[in-house]
Structure 1
Amino acid sequence: MKSAEAEKYPSNKASGNFQGLAKLLPTSASLGTKKFPGRCSFPSSNMILMHGKVGHEWKISALLEDDAMSTLEEDDETIEEYAENLGILSLDPGFKAFEDHLRHRFIRYLEQKRLIETYEGSLEEFAQGYLKFGFNKEQDGIVYREWAPAAQEAQLIGDFNGWDGCNYQMEKNQYGVWTIKIPDQDGEPAIPHNSRVKFRFKHGNGIWVDRIPAWIKYATVDSTVFAAPYDGVYWDPPPSERYTFKHARPPKPDCPRIYEAHVGMSSTEPQVNSYREFADDILPRIKANNYNTVQLMAIMEHSYYGSFGYHVTNFFAVSSRSGTPEDLKYLIDKAHGLGLRVLMDVVHSHAGNNSTDGLNGYDVGQSAQDSYFHTGEQGYHKLWDSRLFNYANWEVLRFLLSNLRWWLEEFNFDGFRFDGVTSMLYHHHGVNISFTGNYNEYFSEATDVDAAVYLMLANHLIHNIFPDAIVVAEDVSGMPALGRPVSDGGIGFDFRLAMAIPDKWIDYLKNKKDEEWSMEEIVFCLTNRRYTEKCIAYAESHDQAIVGDKTISFLLMDKEMYSGMSCLMDASPTIERGIALHKMIHFIAMALGGEGYLNFMGNEFGHPEWIDFPREGNGWSFDKCTRQWNLVDADHLRYKVQITLQISFFDCFSTRAMNALDDKFSFLQSTKQFVSSANDNDKVIVFERGDLVFVFNFHPEITYNGYKVGCELPGKYRVALDSDALEFGGHGRVGHDVDHFTSPEGIPGEPETNFNNRPNSFKVLSPPRTCVVYQKVEEDLDDQVKLPGTETTVAVVMDQQEPNKDLTLCQEDIGES
């Protein structure tokens, strides 16, 4: 995530601490007996206030007395024993010097989880706070509850009572929870569906303020009034208006191929697009491009549209700009019907600073114990101008964990992408920090253990509720074990974003000539990830296109995209180069950079320019806040190959063909990955992924005829995918019906005598700025894969056997070039 004005982390980005998939970086000395920040006070306190469930009776608070604490302490020895056998310690010798820190973190997690289970029944019940807080219907009325310890008096106001709260005073218990019950009138709810409501309270200065209920499910604003405040909306549609899901969730993919999208800016028109328009118009495009997952940004309500959805104000409410909660359910259900899973970009790293519209309005100078946020400077992210959660607070845990369960169960999301994880994990929030990979940077007093424990609880909860969920972390620091299971002592994410990859390409495209590109640097960047933790690779996301930056296609072709994309004229050298490298950059990121792939909406067809949301600085213009689908749909532009094919140069290769290749050969899920050559002189990279051999020629001019490439398996190879094929806007220089037979290399049993550490080799034609994939085939058992929904084939040659689904673990190495 970036704001329009400033990059989130002005620092170097590292995606892990392994060279390739094998080598550990050196570590530093142990933390020893240093005191860890945010140490849990529960085990040593003899009286702790919390809200909870005791037995079968709900109470809006429970008190831990000495006898209860004694019961908890009986299990302390078991917890200590469990922590002694952390699974992650056996995976990485670098953890040895920091085992005290890792055990401390895991014990903190177990203690917090045990307390929740003891006083709330279970973590899953604890995460159903929305059944008690906010508005809930009972048999004869509506009950509204709000946690606001700093309030001295409180009222419920809204359309239903003419905004006069004098007769709707709320009662406060000793734990800061305010309650009111509104009896039904003539058998009907006293608060009508879709009517406005607010929480009015008086704080310590004797001032009355109106705030949107923290657990509100919907919030709207009067669009006819400039800078009007948002209103909470009581959302309880009658059965006839409630959306009913029709489709089951699609099965969990082995490797997510993610289409990152922003519903609001998905229209060609200068307007905010709706959930239903996105479902009907954009989802079919995503499906046609062979993605299996959609990642939706800006779903949680945010009062400032220009924040890209990252300054959340109402955590349980859908963004009303694009429609109602029922409209969002329609979108998700339609995606499921198309076989697409849906992830939500969830923001629990901070909250919008807006007091009138958001959660920050509940902070009126009280102590951290009585607030959702830290106090003083610790409670503010200066770079983002936002508030920071106090993850040690019981009610903050209830609020955030319940928020996750709400989106999973109410809307059928299939998982999350957690934004701003780096900011959560460290007290310095990653600001002005250049992470080098030294383990001292990850396990020290700079680490926010409270936040790490929250993330462990969150991942445990998500996977317990929905075992097939996919949870992705946005972390620029390369925190080790972020992607390992909680039960092993990790933080529990399924994937982490490989955030160093787009930075590498931006650096090359802005600062280096093509002939200065280092193949070894590219390979290092793409393979520099932890061997046992999965990554989502990408060449560009929404971050790289925000105002002040450019998409890869625009970096490559710039102003010529306005004048040189017509099929009615010859392509200029700039356009030729741009289209070729665009295909190569995205494909090598996918093929070598991780175990999943992500693309931002529109970049698959080379969307030009940048993204700039309506704001005061641009005159509130939508000009750069749309997606120009007309470019890829226009018959006469180079975004499309030719009228009859109806496929773009970019779209067909960079998306459909790449994804189709993975559908057939499952190379993304293969742990067999071996880079045999990264030749800086030739500008050629050769590697194997699964049973496929990839040859990338980044040289701007030279065609290599009879270029020798190494491989593991002997036999006959043919082209499986070719970026230079005519159907992809190339020149058709590589023969797809040519058989490539291997020759043995070296002396059997002496690997050091092999060619580039491979026992076999074959020779290929490798034109400049092309990538070609080869697959081993049996005699006369070749075939082609058709692109779904078209009459076009992608020249995929295969045998008639299914790809090996049980490949043995193989560490990556880089042979001599």
Structure 2
Amino acid sequence: MSSVNKVVAHSLFTDFDISLWKAGKNFRAYDKLGSHVIEVDGTKGTYFSVWAPSARAVSVVGDFNYWNRQEHKLNPRWDSSGIWEGFLPGLGNGTVYKYAIDGPDGEHLEKGDPFARLWEVPPKTASVVWDTYYEWDDKEWMDKRIEANGIDRPYSVYECHLGSWKKKEGGMESLSYRELAVELVAYLKKMNFTHVEFLPVMEHPYFPSWGYQITGYFAPSSRFGGPQDFMYLVDELHKAGIGVILDWVPSHFPTDDHGLAQFDGTHLFDHEDPRLGFHPDWKSAIFNYGRNEVRSFLISNALFWLDRYHIDGLRVDAVASMLYLDYSRKEGEWIPNKYGGNENLEAIGFLREFNETIFREYPDTMTIAEESTAFSGVSRPTYVGGLGFGQKWMMGWMHDTLGYFKHEPIHRSYHHGEITFSLVYAFSENFMLPLSHDEVVHGKGPLIDRMPGDEWQRFANMRALYGYMYTHPGSKLLFMGGEFGQTTEWSIEKGIDWNLTKYAPHKTLQKFVADLNKLYQSTTALYEKAYDPKGFEWIDGGDHQNSVLSYLRRGKKEKDIAVVINNFTPAVRHHYRIGVPFKGTYAAILNSDEEKYGGTGNYDLPKLKAADSEWNGRPYHLEMTIPPLSTVVLKLQGKK
């Protein structure tokens, strides 16, 4: 016999809620669907509701009824919404449960709750009744968040996998959310990053998927603690002045038996035809973006993290795979759209609605697309035909830049176009420059291994790479470990090797990145016009013989300029002339060759007075010594 009373007929839905759900416009569906601890007629219990339109019967099973699917059956709504619901007196937070679903063909399924706020710790797969109440202490951050998230603000993002950022001493165990709230927050503060981006925190059964195969879209992974623990981590990050971006995966979902696949015995969340509904790269299911209820589910999920967890932005994974029907497919393996093209019109419509909704509801947040093709207008407003994202990863810059740095410096003069080509299209989108986790896995090795030469040259190349990255138009993203020159490929089991920071080359590189972040945030010319062609101007982008790049970055004020010189060879360039637009004295605010960064320390740059003669098509010039394998940034002194 069950220790819980029978199901009581009860509903949290209004007719309007249902009409919105069916129209694909219920973007707060998490307020009603799922499990909710409430009180009905003076009796506390849990209300359950689940969308399973093709089911013959749905019941709630768990330890409380010995997993008996005949015991607590939910009631189907009368309105053809496909929602089953009911109130179970006596159940509360901590109740472990699943939905037992009888499919249309008589199969017996046991599914986790798509809207569950908490799941059991994997490898267990049941959902857990839980609330998301939390007393936030980040009002100061939330009130002025627009100042940190504005399009004309600096974005220096630390990409982090929570389970492998740091392992507990002497073991393989990950830090908890509460432990990360101490150690990670302090580290990000020390390193001067403006934002942290977490690889997917949503519940996923397979740890080596890095979080990209999600089954629990509304729950932070219980591997590291509960919902309130993750909220505490976000709270502490905000109190430290650090924004939080989550990796979000609406592009596909795994086919685990307890997840969304074949949820009610049919292809409820995906397409039945594998040419539309199965992803050949990840062996996973593709959401059916044309189904209204699926759109309600996904956009509700996006808003849920901004609403309940105070998240500041969403980086949307694998957008390219959503946009094209023939993505990773050969001829005959995909179905053209109604016009005969390869664009996924339903996914395009979904992404536009997603962005419109996010920026309407939370205009002080950010959306960022991981999109690797030449699809037009990814970060342009929907009213001009764009997808509406705030920013887009600049994959071409990443590919060309890493390719350039792999060349021996003596050969770089023949590959000069690789390092300058990004400026041809740099302002076609609002670009973020990523050196992400994808560049240090699958046999690619760590970033430091792409750098040629002896140990000194390799680290000098890393400093030159980061100096170029931080002075190039666009926001910045760096994956954990890259900031100190991790020497092995990323492993989620081992984590990153913090012992390296005891050694001078790694410690000084780490200091350089911290100072770069500080410089970036304090130098308005480096970020105020990051997406405006008026914010960048070549001084000399064609000096391929010396492998030297020189350019201006401009802020909003006329004389707010930064002069950037990159020397991508170990040769010192003496008496090198740089044309500048204004008369006056220029001082070095960055020299990557300083001894404190692991450089030679032999080429301190004095204040330079602009000579009154034309050079590089400008009325004045500076003459200087450019250190080897370096980035130098000069600032005009005096009144702006």
Query: How would you bin the TM-score normalised by the shorter chain?
Result: 0.7 to 0.9
Greater relative CO (CA pairs within 8 A, separation 6+)? 1
**Contact 1:374/1:388 (8 A) holds in 2:** no
Q: Does 1:357 align with 2:267?
A: no
What secondary structure is seen at the aligned counterpart in 2 of 1:345? strand
Q: TM-score, normalised by structure 1?
A: 0.69
| Aligned 8 A contact 1:417 1:473 in 2 | yes
Match of 2:445 among 550, 559, 578: 550
Letter in structure 2 aligned against 1:638 = A
SS at match of 2:451: helix
Among candidates 138, 149, 154, match of residue 247 of structure 1: 138
Displacement after TM superposition at 1:466 (Å): 1.1
Match of 1:686 among 538, 550, 562: 550
Q: Is structure 2 residue 67 aligned with structure 1 residue 163?
A: yes
Q: Which residue of 1 aligns with 2:87?
A: 182
Which structure 2 residues correspond to residues 107-256 of structure 1 after superposition, within 5 A? 123=25, 126-140=26-40, 141-173=45-77, 175=80, 177-184=82-89, 190-221=90-121, 228-236=123-131, 242-248=133-139, 249=142, 251-252=145-146, 253=148, 254-256=153-155
Tell me, in whole angstroms, the C-alpha distance in 2 between the residues paired with 1:117 and 1:375. Answer: 24
Q: Deviations over 1:616-653 (max 9, x none)?
A: xxxxxx23xx1222322x2xx1146xxxxxxx211121
CA distance in 1, matches of 2:274, 2:396: 33
1:410 aligns with 2:308: yes
User: How far apart, CA to CA, are the structure 2 residues paired with 1:735 and 1:376?
Assistant: 63
Matched, 1:526 2:385: no
Deviation at 1:530, TM superposition (A): 5.1
Out of 182, 189, 200, the residue aligned to residue 287 of structure 1 is 189
Matched, 1:345 2:256: no
Tell me the CA shift for residue 709 of structure 1. 1.1
Q: Is the 8 A contact 2:110 2:258 kept in 1?
A: no
Q: SS of 1:612's equivalent?
A: coil
Deviation of residue 506 (structure 1)?
3.6
Closer, same or farther in 2 for the Cα pair 1:735/1:59, shift >3 Å?
Answer: closer
CA distance in 2, matches of 1:578, 1:144: 58
1:604 aligned counterpart, secondary structure:
coil
Work out the CA distance in 2 between the residues paired with 1:444 and 1:715: 61
Instruction: Report the residue type matching 1:321 in the other structure.
Output: R
Number of residues of Structure 1 aligned to a counterpart in Structure 2? 595
**2 CA distance for matches of 1:373 and 1:317?**
25
Label 1:775 to 1:153 Cα distance change in 2 as closer, same or farther (>3 A).
Answer: same
2:622 counterpart SS class: strand
Q: What residue in structure 2 maps to residue 482 of structure 1?
A: 378
Structure 1 runs of 4+ off > 6 angstroms? Answer: 117-120
The corresponding residue for 1:278 is 180
1:628 aligns with 2:497: yes
Q: 1:530 to 1:507 in 2, by over 3 A?
A: closer
Give SS of 2:219's match.
strand
Q: Is the 8 A contact 2:370 2:392 kept in 1?
A: yes
What is the CA–CA distance in structure 2 between the aligned matches of 1:584 and 1:527, rounded to whole Å?
A: 18
CA contact (8 A) 2:118 2:222 kept: yes
Task: Give the counterpart letter for 2:310 in structure 1.
Answer: N
**Matched residue of 2:635: which SS?**
strand
Give, in whole Å, the separation in 1 of the partners of 2:463 and 2:35. Answer: 51
Return the match for 2:504 from 638, 645, 651.
Answer: 638
Q: 1:729 aligns with which of 598, 614, 617?
A: 598
The CA distance in 1 between the partners of 2:596 and 2:621, in whole Å, is 29
Return the TM-score normalized by structure 2.
Answer: 0.88
Instruction: From the superposition, tell whether residues 117 and 181 of structure 1 become closer, same or farther in structure 2 (CA, over 3 Å).
Output: closer
Residue 374 to residue 411, structure 1, CA distance change in 2 (3 Å): farther
Distance in 2, Cα, partners of 1:697 & 1:164: 71
Paired amino acid for 2:411: E
Displacement of 1:117: 11
The structural deviation recorded for 1:551 is 1.7
User: What is the rounded CA distance, in whole Å, between the counterparts of 1:300 and 1:118 in structure 2?
Assistant: 26
Distance in 1, Cα, partners of 2:109 & 2:589: 66
Rounded Cα–Cα distance in structure 1 between residues aligned with 2:225 and 2:53: 33
Gaps of 5+ in 1: 1-52, 63-115, 185-189, 223-227, 434-440, 558-572, 614-621, 641-647, 746-754, 779-798, 802-817
Counterpart contact for 1:266–1:278, Cα < 8 Å: no
Cα offsets for 1:146-195 (capped at 9, x unmatched): 111221221111122221232311222463524232243xxxxx223112
Aligned CA distance change for structure 1 residues 180 and 377 (closer, same or farther; 3 Å): same
Q: SS where residue 454 of structure 2 aligns? A: helix
Aligned pairs for 1:371-382 within 5 A: 371-382=269-280
**1:61, 1:128 → 2: CA distance?**
12
Q: Deviations over 1:21-74 (max 9, x none)?
A: xxxxxxxxxxxxxxxxxxxxxxxxxxxxxxxx9xx9435755xxxxxxxxxxxx
Which of 508, 519, 527 is matched with 1:660 structurally? 519
Shift of 1:666: 4.2
CA deviations on 1:633-684 (whole Å, 9 max, x unpaired) are: x2xx1146xxxxxxx2111213323432432334122342012223111111
169-178 vs 474-483, which moves further: 169-178
Q: Deviations over 1:507-533 (max 9, x none)?
A: 3455x3222224632443432435352
Q: Secondary structure at the match of 2:490?
A: coil
8 Å Cα contact 1:61-1:175 kept in structure 2? no
Name the CA distance, whole Å, in 1 between partners of 2:108 and 2:21: 37
Q: Which amino acid aligns with 1:359?
A: L
Confirm or deny: 8 A CA contact 1:157 1:164 kept in the other structure.
Answer: yes
Distance apart, 1:364 and its partner CA? 3.0
Q: Deviations over 1:764-804 (max 9, x none)?
A: 101221111111113xxxxxxxxxxxxxxxxxxxx6x5xxx
Query: C-alpha separation between the residues in 2 aligned to 1:352 and 1:676?
Result: 50
Q: 1:319 to 1:176 in 2, by over 3 A?
A: same
- CA shift, 1:408, in A, is 0.5
Q: Find out whether 1:603 has 2:482 as its counterpart.
A: yes
1:321 aligns with 2:223: yes
Structure 1: distance between partners of 2:605 and 2:420 = 31
* Residue matched to 2:431: 535
Computed over aligned residues only, the root mean square deviation of the Cα atoms, in angstroms, reads 2.5
Aligned residue number for residue 705 of structure 1? 574
For residue 358 of structure 2, the aligned residue among 438, 441, 462 is: 462
Question: Which amino acid in structure 1 is aligned with residue 564 of structure 2?
Answer: F
Select the residue among 336, 346, 352 that pairs with 1:450: 346
Q: Which residue of 2 aligns with 1:258?
A: 157
Corresponding letter in the other structure for 2:475: G
How far residue 276 of structure 1 moved from its aligned partner, in angstroms, is: 1.4
Q: Secondary structure at the match of 1:287?
A: helix
**Residue deviations 1:595-635 (CA, integer Å, cap 9, x gap):** 2111111211111211233xxxxxxxx23xx1222322x2x
Task: Kindly provide the amino acid, as one letter, of the partner of residue 697 in structure 1.
Answer: N
- Secondary structure of the corresponding residue to residue 398 of structure 1: helix
**What is the deviation of 1:729?**
1.6
Confirm or deny: 8 A CA contact 1:602 1:627 kept in the other structure.
Answer: yes
Structure 1 pair 496/586, CA: closer, same or farther in 2 (3 Å)?
A: same
Aligned-partner Cα distance in 2 for 1:534–1:221 = 39
The 8 Å contact of residues 556 and 574 in structure 1, kept in 2 or not, is answered as no
- Matched letter for residue 129 of structure 2: Y
Q: For the residues of structure 1 that align with 2:17 and 2:27, how far apart are their CA atoms?
A: 14
In 1, Cα distance between equivalents of 2:581 and 2:328: 42
**Deviations 1:684-722 (CA, angstroms, capped at 9, x unpaired):** 11111120111111123x222110112222222121210
Contact 1:143-1:181 within 8 A present in 2 as well: yes
Closer, same or farther: CA 374–170 of 1 in aligned 2, 3 Å: same
CA distance in 1, matches of 2:382, 2:344: 17
| Shift of residue 430, structure 1, vs aligned partner | 5.5
Q: Does 1:58 align with 2:15?
A: yes
Deviations 1:378-437 (A, max 9, x none): 10001111110110101001100110111111100011000010011111225689xxxx
